[in-house]
Structure 1
């Protein structure tokens, strides 16, 4: 299990670094949004390139941070039942869900989006709008983002398997005991 856990740590480190870099894109996007609004209303001018760049940055934030979000258990789940299960049952659900849902979906998205990027890159696709940006860089972000998500899915599967084998503590929490049900925050036990 040792080499697998080292691989999981490497993937965690990669997505942590990407996620912390993406934090800055949020600031850049906010500043760009304010700038385009200021120019539009103060000078009655606009730029298709600036608007497209704003959309590209939004896309980059969501695509590139998907693995980081999974690492920090930030994706939406239906916690009505899940939160009431024991950590071991939760780990089994995460493990099976990662194997039969997350990894296949992410890998299919990498595979399907790669062709679109390759075609866009080969033809040097540009926005049809006047002054618009090249399309291939943002199309590259799709397979890259899903690849980062797939990698993090592998890391999470490794960690859940290690937890279930008793090799590491519960990777989702440090609080409740392993066989005690998890409760919602603020819930009276």
Structure 2
């Protein structure tokens, strides 16, 4: 494999690893927020109206930004009818082949995400809750998550292609 591809794979892997390790801590922030809300509601009888909305935003960011890291760590769900019986080179070849479809799907998803983000920013779209939060930040995070996943999918494609050829990246 050319050095540019090796550098690309290393760079994308580092970026998604950093993003995934930072993002995984959002779950603790969400748990703390929900715990605080529960305590304030039951003990102090002062409910916080926006906790659910903020928790949904945090969970969305957690899910969307962690996709590339999940793919990099091979932590996603795989249907395994025949796959486990194949050789590592055969598995890598099948993974490289199916990555083409994943990249196509992610490109279409990215086009939709960009369109949705631009619309949200132009219109000033907000949540339909008591406190109307702007949706632009979560839409930007959504688009960034799709970009990270697309970058990781192409890096994984190159790794699988190299593995199918018997080369390690």
Q: CA RMSD in A?
A: 1.4
Q: Which residue of 2 aligns with 1:118?
A: 118
Q: Which residue of 1 aligns with 2:71?
A: 70
1:4 and 2:1 aligned:
no
Moved more, 114-123 or 148-157: 114-123
Aligned residues: 168
| Aligned positions of 1:82-121 closer than 5 A | 82-99=83-100, 101-121=101-121
Kindly indicate whether the alpha-carbon contact (under 8 Å) linking 1:110 and 1:144 is maintained by their aligned counterparts in 2. Answer: no
TM-score by length of 2: 0.93
Q: Which runs of 5+ in 2 are unaligned?
A: none
Residue 40 of structure 1 and its aligned partner are, at CA, apart by 2.1
TM-score by length of 1: 0.84
Q: 1:145 to 1:67 in 2, by over 3 A?
A: same
Kindly indicate whether the alpha-carbon contact (under 8 Å) linking 2:117 and 2:140 is maintained by their aligned counterparts in 1. Answer: yes
Q: Which residue of 2 aligns with 1:26?
A: 27
Q: Which residue of 2 aligns with 1:42?
A: 43
Q: Which residue of 2 aligns with 1:168?
A: 168
CA deviation map 1:94-121 (0-9, x unaligned): 100001x210111111101211111111
Q: Distance in 2 between matches of 1:83 and 1:33?
A: 41
